[in-house]
Structure 1
Amino acid sequence: MSQEDNGRDEHEHDMVMPGFRFHPTEEELVEFYLRRKVEGKRFNVELITFLDLYRYDPWELPALAAIGEKEWFFYVPRDRKYRNGDRPNRVTTSGYWKATGADRMIRGENSRPIGLKKTLVFYSGKAPKGIRTSWIMNEYRLPQHETERSQKFEIMYI
């Protein structure tokens, strides 16, 4: 051991311990993480990074996540294509995220609706002639009536 090491642990600044895996259920993502974030509640450990995701291409995202090897989670502010509209802006520097299929309801206890899930696929190039890639993202959000009065953002899972 050199003098510079001084008994320091190379893992002393790691966020989580070896063997830890972050694999929340959809219900946990919506009810615990997203709802608490929207309500302004704090977490002991921030496992999900807040990121303006559409400023980046998908291959840049793994380096920006707080945790994850093959899947990454982000809180993402809603960006609208038009200031007065509801249509989201999902364009990145080299492509765009396109929704596939209809929104799916996430249900909690007693089958109570607690959130919505949308699946998106990344296309390189400009719409509508983009080329489909293998990048897939799931968007989780609270029901609209619950977000009208509060901060508007989603959890993105890539």
Structure 2
Amino acid sequence: MKKNIVRLGIPILLILATYSVWVTFPEQFNQTLQGINYQLGNEEELYEVSIQIDGELRRGLFGGKTFEGVIDIEDEELPIPKGERNVTIKFDSDGRGDIVYYGISNGHPYTHHYASIFANYNFTEITILKGSWNANEGFMITAPAKDYFEALTISNELMRDFLEIPL
């Protein structure tokens, strides 16, 4: 009886250990996505942007994910020096994470909340809710998207657990 437990237990423990390492092992990203910067409710005023993602994503064993690295959006003016734009983004159960920069300027600590972000499992689709966002006229960046309707489709999919009513 004990031999059967050991014979069965050891492979199960090995499978669980392998699964744990596989799920939680950090995944590296260094990619550029082409998308659009737009305002909800305004199909006319939008412009193309390039988004550089360079960092790693760690997944928790029981859910949750954390991104550490740099998300650089072309032509986006930030009050943060280029070399200090490293962020840690913890995604919640709705798939939303906050892009918040921390640092020290002139001897004083600061924080700068740039936006909220939603991303699929491998960061090939993202949508960013800029500033004090609302679902009627908020400013957004979505990639990969070439037009307003494609951006809304991607955003609704990524934000399905967050939004009560689709955009």
Fold conserved (TM > 0.5)? no
Larger RCO (CA under 8 A, 6+ residues apart): 1
Bigger Rg over Cα? 2
Q: Give the structure-2-normalised TM-score.
A: 0.30
Greater share of residues in strand: 2
